[in-house]
Amino acid sequence: MKFDDLDKKMRVYEQSIDQTVLNEMYLVARLDGRNFSRLTKEICDFEAPFDERFRDMMIKTVKVLMDCGFRVVYGYTESDEISLLFHKEENTFGRKVRKFNSILAGMASAVFSLELGQPVAFDCRLVPLPNVELVQDYFLWRQADAHRNALNAHCYWMLRKEGKSVEEATKMLEGKSVSYKNELLFSRDINFDKLPGWQKRGTGVFWTEVEKTGYNPVTNSEEKAIRRELKTDMELELGEKYAQFIKGLAE
């Protein structure tokens, strides 16, 4: 069989489960670390419940993803997950799902592995959203998840450090209310409200324009220019203020 004929025949199978996201849809990608619970608790010497070294590795990964060939307007990370909001007119690779998922997961895995010094893996899924209100809801949802996880993690590890076993600490928190958990921490002189914002609300990364001064060898003079830089925000707003911030980036 001639190559052109064979190529045409096999392309049908290769592309048989290809999906593309409609141009009218907003695009968000969410990446999660594979087996990161074991990585952070058993393999690496990370501080529990939160470690600044791990946080900084996640932020570095977000920044690389935001500048790796896609038009990403916002990156958000909490725990071992990353969410990326794309420019509403992003059309790289014709919005093929497999291209976004494979490239972003591969890039995140490579960057974090280099930062950590051992191989790790991320998975990736695209989340198509039909309107800006759902984009706002998505990031409010992830921020709420960060808050819930932070409260549970601080309670759990406080009990573990007091000598409770995995089973005992888990049972003590099972089915308990938010107010109970806050009071539990407060009884040990831990005010959850005063803990660092990045632990409770996650971290945001977005593009800003800054004025830079440089030397122009042609004119033999200093000149000012506007450059784009990535800004990291570890004290994100809550509620409606955060929703409006997301809306401004999405539109």
Average pLDDT value over all residues in the chain: 94
DSSP 92: G
DSSP per position, 177-240 = -HHHHHHHHHTTT--GGGS-HHHHH-EEEEEEEEEEEEEETTTTEEEEEEEEEEEEESS---HH
> Residue 231: what pLDDT?
97
C-alpha–C-alpha distance, residues 74 and 156, integer Å = 31
Count CA within 13 A, CB hemisphere, residue 160.
13
Query: Does residue 5 surpass a pLDDT of 90?
Result: no
The domain 18-140+196-201 is classified under which CATH number: 3.40.50.460, 3.40.50.300, 3.30.70.270, 3.30.70.3000? 3.30.70.3000
Query: Does residue 158 surpass a pLDDT of 80?
Result: yes
What is the mean pLDDT of the segment spanning 206-233? 84
The neighbour count for residue 166, using CB atoms within 10 Å, is 10
What is the mean pLDDT of the segment spanning 84-92? 97
Query: Does residue 41 surpass a pLDDT of 90?
Result: no
> Residue 29: what pLDDT?
98
The mean-pLDDT minimum among 30-44, 81-95, 186-200 falls in 30-44
> Residue 147: what pLDDT?
97
The tens digit of pLDDT for each residue in 136-146 reads 999 999 999 99
pTM of the entire predicted model: 0.91
Domain ranges for the chain: 18-140+196-201
